[in-house]
Structure 1
Amino acid sequence: MFIRQLTSGDAADFMELRLAGLSECPTAFASSYDEECGAAIDEVSSRIAPGCGSAVFGAFGDSSVLIGTIGVRREHRRKMRHKGVIWGMYVRPEYRGAGVGRVLLRRAECVNLFPTVPAFFPNESLDGGIGIRVDASVGGLQ
């Protein structure tokens, strides 16, 4: 397994994995499958492209298949700029329990896009305990 920052060229793979996550765990995401399934590839490309204050990372398996993702972004509002938000974390079911989520969280935690952001806050809709166990396994990102 290897982790790298996604680029616009990963949009199709990202969208395929995101739709799987939205379908399997609808309460874990702020968006819905219906909202996302019609998204144009250009829109997805711009959403995951590396930018100032945001990044999306992917975990790739042995066959270079995208098996997990995590997004991080800096809050935009002036009073909230000291916080980073983790969004859109998902790992394919067949890879859960193998440390993929933990590695993704650690990678997101090390992002140097946020030199003045001392803390990351996972999305509060962690689904069914899976996200809570992963968050606890890395010491909680508070």
Structure 2
Amino acid sequence: MTEVAFHFNVGDPLGYACRLLRKAIRAGAQVAVIAPPERLRELDAALWSFDPLEFLPHVRIAPGAQPPARLATTPLWLVERASDAPPVPVLVNLGDEVAPGFESFDRLIEIVGNDDAERQAGRRRWKHYSDRGYAIERHEVGAR
């Protein structure tokens, strides 16, 4: 069963995601990030600029596209649908909805900002996983 972790009250979700992804890559993990198109564009730009001395190798995959085989070892995949990600163990959700197909990943990380709309969406996702029997790990990142 997929391990689910929520990171709540994140003041800067994109900056936090960049730091979390850097940590995962340094640990040797391969990760897919799912989000709506505009958020993926923002994350793509942030990954190039959040640390001027470091580059996080990543690929953005268009919906339905098949990545070239030469990119198979890329550690970070940016996708709009979980089904477009290659078979990697970790999925990070930066969207407001439950990611269809999250069950195919070993681990799911939900990043929830600290504004009311993001918190409400996070609660709905928490309820979805909880109602289906997933044990949820909670990380309180910042104070409200």
TM-score (norm 2): 0.33
